[in-house]
Amino acid sequence: MRIFYNAKIYTLDGKLPFASAIVIERGSILAVGEERSIISQFGNLSEQIDLGQRAVIPGLTDAHIHLQHFAMGLQNVDCETSTNEECLKNVEARTSSTPPGEWVLGHGWNQNNWMEGFGTAEQLDRIAPRILSI
């Protein structure tokens, strides 16, 4: 059990919007309130940590996805590669099964990770002359 005190705690509770201490045990909040009250109630049982007036805000956990966008992204060529050359090989492999005039889409590249920097339209045209774009 730990008491975090001397803090500016934003509770997002209309009845107690701010507090100066919080008690946490095994990842669960046991109590939130004013420092004197919290320390007098839990002080003997707890490690006490002075936060030096730092702010504490509720954590936000967002574990959702936009399924349609995610699923459509799975159809794209994976260009999250170490080199431009490797990305071009992935594109070339996809174009072999793509009908002429169809689009090939890629995602995930980071030209900052590629020694050669950005790729070029000429490179794409060389490996995929029948395809509209990436």
Specify the pLDDT at position 49: 96
Domain of 7?
A: 2-56
Which of 22-26, 45-49, 61-65 holds the top average pLDDT? 22-26
Q: What is the mean pLDDT of the chain?
A: 89
Specify the pLDDT at position 132: 61
For position 20, which CATH number holds? 2.30.40.10
Domain co-membership, 43 together with 91: no
pTM: 0.49
Nearby residues of 91 by Cβ (< 8 Å), 6 or more positions away: 77, 79, 104, 106, 124, 127, 128, 134
Rounded (10°) CA dihedral 13, 17, 23, 29: 20
**Beta pairing partners, 49:** 4
Domain co-membership, 52 together with 71: no
Domain co-membership, 79 together with 120: yes
pLDDT in tens, 65-107: 788 888 888 889 999 999 999 999 999 999 888 888 888 899 8
Domain co-membership, 51 together with 72: no
Domain co-membership, 14 together with 52: yes
